[in-house]
Amino acid sequence: MPVRLPMAEAQEAAAIRAALAEVVGPAHVLAGADADPHLSDWRKRFTGTALAVVRPGSTEEVAQLVRLAAQRSLAVVPQGGNTGLCGGATPDAGNRNLVLLTTRLSRVRSIDPLNNTMVIEAGVPLLRAQDAAREAGRLFPLSLAAEGSATIGGNLSTNAGGTQVLRYGNARELCLGLEVVTAEGEIWSGLNALRKNNTGYDLRDLFIGAEGTLGIITAACVKLFPLPRSTGTALVGLNNVDQALRLLDLAQQHAASTLTGFELFSDFCLQLVEQHLPRLRSPFAASHAWYVLIELSNHQDANATNAMLEDLLGAALDARLIDDAVIAQSTAQASELWALRESISEAQAAEGKNIKHDISVPISRIAEFVRETNAQLAQRFPGVRMVIFGHLGDGNLHYNVSAPGFGSGLDDGGFIARQPEVYETVHDQVHRFGGSISAEHGIGQLKRAELPRYKSPVEMALMRRIKQALDPDHRMNPGKVLD
Ligand code: FAD
Ligand code: ZN
């Protein structure tokens, strides 16, 4: 939607765009239809406005833009791949927003195989970072379904998780150093490649997970790992989440750090995938209440990995933890099994509106959490359909609630209007179980109002003081995380 501005404002906006164009070149100041895709979030839940969307081509240009924003009193909203799920990269409806798109910060600056590190710019898509590492004979293990578009800067700013956290940790644990443009427009070159560095406050950890509210990450030094020689993938069917937890324990005993993936999903998730993506099919003849996708990554050959997987599944059958299992016989079959898990979000979106919760609780309490919370939701919102999947090995579930089906009398819009009540039910439970209301996706604008409910006043005050110290004019991504 074009913004209608009074004359003086329109003149000022034109002057600002001209000043921006002097920094990045006119081709990289987007307005009108070119800017539109950057003004809404991936789920189309939030839409905002901006004077311009700018695409800087270097760290120095980012710094110049931030200084210009300070002179002109503009808010700066950093955006990478715009795949975030909580509206963090979407500007508000104000008329002084600048969306700073990082996609031209796209260089892999260096790879040091012996040090097992790679320096990459913030706009590099995650998939390309993985490829660059592989070409150098190394593994960059961060992996998530949006990796074709999501950027390293976005991954670090949301402290992204994904499917390999169990073995390698989340984005924070994979990052050794950062280059950041501060809210003042200074460049902090903190790209150290050290595993050990105890020299005062850890500024890097402040910017990671800050969702662009403290500064702009322009580059990062990330950890690399040896490439596994083989992987083994299996899908098992089982009866309940308690069994899945006992299977996790067994898998850790059998496979230790070879276990790199342990993903849970319910039968309803699989049904949605089969219904909305007919090319994908369950490998089982009968259905099971729950499924777990297990992945082993090994530094021994494929025979050794398969033997380990067979051993584990044999023990699980003997212990009556699982009802059925398939082991992928090829890379293509492994990809098909992963596709079932990774297509759940897409299938759920095709089914209609849903309310997402991205929660974690201590792993040992997950089954109890699911049982109790399912019962509470069923009682308070009759007919809602639970779409439960996630990274069981990390205690993190995408505990999503879909609108009741056709004929329930509650349409999608009516259901979404009840989001605050659904949040309250689930998040109060999460809190009671000692969990987190955002394990992966962050707070953004979607969950900002929830935060003070569950964080102590002391923690909120400390966060506000950090924000005040690093961004006293509240110019960096205002309205996100904190109000
Ligand atoms: P954006 O959406 O552009 O931005 C996200 C936030 O980071 C915003 O607050 C933005 O202002 C800020 N930001 C972006 N770049 C910078 C920068 N350079 N400096 C400072 N701030 C910046 N997430 C997971 O953790 N695990 C998953 O498994 C997962 N699966 C997903 C699957 C799908 C299908 C989709 C659509 C999303 C998924 N996500 C997942 C969420 C999303 O992909 C991640 O949050 C990702 O890290 C966002 O990267 P991005 O480049 O798209 O960031
Ligand atoms: Zn996830």
Q: What local confidence, expressed as pLDDT, does residue 415 receive? A: 84
In this model, does residue 92 exceed pLDDT 90?
yes
Digit-coded pLDDT (tens) for 283-338: 999 999 999 999 999 999 999 999 999 999 999 999 999 999 999 999 999 999 99
From 54, 65, 77, 83, the mutation candidate for ligand 1 (largest count of ligand atoms within 8 A of CB) is 83
Alpha helices for 343-418 (secondary structure H): 344-351, 366-380, 412-416
Q: What percent of the chain clears pLDDT 90, i.e. is strictly above it?
A: 91
Q: How far apart are CA 433 and CA 126, in angstroms?
A: 33
The one-character DSSP state at 295 is E
E strand segments, 26-174: 29-30, 52-54, 75-79, 97-101, 108-112, 117-121, 138-139
The per-residue pLDDT for range 433-477, each reduced to its tens digit, is: 999 999 999 999 999 999 999 999 999 999 999 999 999 999 999
CA distances from 139 to 163, 164, 262 (A): 14, 12, 19
Domains (ranges, CATH) in the chain? 7-101 (3.30.43.10), 108-226 (3.30.465.10), 230-276+290-331 (3.30.70.2190), 352-457 (3.30.70.2740)
d(CA 7, CA 9): 5
Q: Using 50, 70 and 90 to split pLDDT, how confident is the model at 408?
A: low
**Is the confidence at residue 414, as pLDDT, over 90?**
no
- The stretch 27-34 carries a mean pLDDT of 94
Tokens of 244: 């899945």
Confidence of residue 8 (pLDDT cuts 50, 70, 90): confident
Task: Check whether 406 has a pLDDT greater than 80.
Answer: no
Are residues 262 and 391 in contact, defined by beta-carbon separation less than 8 angstroms? yes
| Whether pLDDT at 407 is above 60 | no
Of 45, 53, 55, 79, the one to substitute when testing ligand 1's pocket (max ligand atoms within 8 A of C-beta) is 79
> Is residue 5 scored above 70 in pLDDT?
no
Model pTM score: 0.95
Please tell me the distance between residue 248's alpha carbon and the centre of ligand 2 in angstroms. Answer: 18
Say if residues 112 and 194 touch (Cβ distance below 8 Å).
no
Find the 261 Cα to ligand 2 centroid distance in Å.
Answer: 12
Closest C-alpha among 442, 458, 450 to residue 78: 442
How many CB atoms lie under 10 A from the CB of residue 196?
4
What residues line ligand 1, using a CB cutoff of 6 Å? 42, 77-85, 88-89, 102, 122, 144-146, 150-151, 153-155, 157-158, 160-162, 211-212, 216-217, 345, 440-441, 444, 477, 480
pLDDT attached to residue 410: 65
- Partnered with residue 220 across adjacent β-strands are 120, 178
Give the pLDDT of residue 2: 53
Gap from CA of 264 to ligand 2 centroid (Å)? 11
- Residue 260: strand, helix, or coil: strand
Q: How far apart are CA 190 and CA 449, in angstroms?
A: 33
d(CA 445, CA 40): 12
Predicted local distance difference test score (pLDDT) of residue 413: 77
* Average pLDDT over the chain, rounded to an integer: 95
Measuring CA to CA, which residue among 79, 85, 4, 94 is closest to residue 35?
79
Name which of 20, 73, 19, 77 is nearest 50 in CA terms.
77
How far apart CA 367 and CA 395 sit, in angstroms, is 10
pLDDT in tens, 106-157: 999 999 999 999 999 999 999 999 999 999 999 999 999 899 999 999 999 9
- Which pLDDT value is given to residue 364? 96
What mean pLDDT comes out for the span 393-416? Answer: 81
